[in-house]
Amino acid sequence: MQATKAQLDATNERIQARTGRNLILAILIGLAFGAVLLISLIFVKEIFMVVAAACAAFGAFELTHALRGAGYLLPRTPAVLAAVAIIPAAYYGQETGQLIALGAGLVLCWVWRLGMALAPDHRRGWRALGRDLGAIALVQLYAALLASFSVLLLEKDGGQWWTLAFIVLVVATDTGAYASGLLFGKHPMAPSISPKKTWEGFAGAAVTSVIAGILLAVFMVHQPVWFGVIFGVVILLTATLGDLAESLIKRDIGVKDMSSWLPGHGGFLDRLDSILPSAVAAYALFQIFG
């Protein structure tokens, strides 16, 4: 027993040295999130809405905090409140509620920031103010609006299965990329943005996503095989671009992870980087084919 534990610890240390992640903690946290999502999507959809609101809130806080560390002057409280509000607005009010909440949230955050500019120690010039207002929009569009598409899809007829399917597909795609990159990765995909992402990992993700897309299409959302191929390819692209986009944001503001709240993962946005844009893609696919 001790020998097995020692071997497992040694393997985990090697993987952590190569990837920067604690594999065991990452798996445990992933399984816990997966259980909550599965139960909520199948039995009580409102629980998923609460989880989505929490993720949007943590994501908005993380990004706002990171941007403040990079020199932006952003208000935290209204950013979190606006991110939380758009989730139930989209769930109960659908597209109209989503847009109203987004607009109201942006106005709240912008007015708050303009009010901060009246304080003598926060007067930083028009250029800095414009930059801060743009950063506020980034927080709400990225962390809040993208997350709201998951609950927007959830309330459609059969939408809980589409929501579950795209999340499972993103996880499968990320797993394929991780395993292939770990085993075979030699050629960096975007070394200046994400040094550990490789073309071999992307190839593994492509194979995994197409296979998983077909299975999920046929058995979960009751679509033909050809749709499964489209599903897999689209989510492959959005998951990969989402990962690279978040890596680019982190590089520009000079952080490795958005936070350390999720051991083995980093922050909430580090875990959701592939899911957020994929929610928009899944919603669009449902509108076209569902």
Q: Is residue 13 included in any domain, yes or no? A: no
Helix (H, G, I), strand (E, B) or coil at 257: coil
Q: Is residue 5 included in any domain, yes or no? A: no
Helix (H) or strand (E) holding 18: helix 2-19
**Full domain range(s) for residue 273:** 20-289
Q: Is residue 38 included in any domain, yes or no? A: yes
Q: How far apart are CA 108 and CA 75, in angstroms?
A: 10
List the structure tokens of 188. 């960096």
- Tens digit of each residue's pLDDT, the chain (290 residues): 555 545 545 554 555 555 455 556 666 666 777 777 778 888 889 999 999 999 999 999 999 999 999 989 999 999 999 999 999 999 999 999 999 999 999 999 999 999 888 876 666 778 888 999 999 999 999 999 999 999 999 989 999 999 999 999 999 999 898 888 888 888 888 888 888 889 999 999 999 999 999 999 999 999 999 999 999 999 999 999 999 999 898 888 888 877 776 665 677 888 889 999 999 999 999 999 98
List the structure tokens of 241. 């671009």
List the structure tokens of 54. 């929490």
Q: How far apart are CA 205 and CA 193, in angstroms?
A: 19
Q: Is 156 exposed, middle or buried (0-12, 13-18, 19+ CB in 10 A)?
A: middle
Model confidence pLDDT, tens digit, residues 208-256? 999 999 999 999 999 999 999 999 999 999 999 999 999 898 888 888 8
Count of beta carbons in the 10 Å neighbourhood of residue 35: 10
Q: Which amino acid is at 177?
A: A
Helix (H, G, I), strand (E, B) or coil at 195: strand
Q: Are 106 and 136 in contact (CB under 8 A)?
A: yes
Beta bridge partners of 266: 262
Count of beta carbons in the 10 Å neighbourhood of residue 42: 12
Helices 23-42 & 45-69 angle (0-180, nearest 10): 140
Helices 45-69 & 126-139 angle (0-180, nearest 10): 160
Number of domains in the chain: 1
pTM above 0.75, yes or no: yes
Q: Is residue 27 included in any domain, yes or no? A: yes
- Beta-strand pair 188-190/194-198: antiparallel
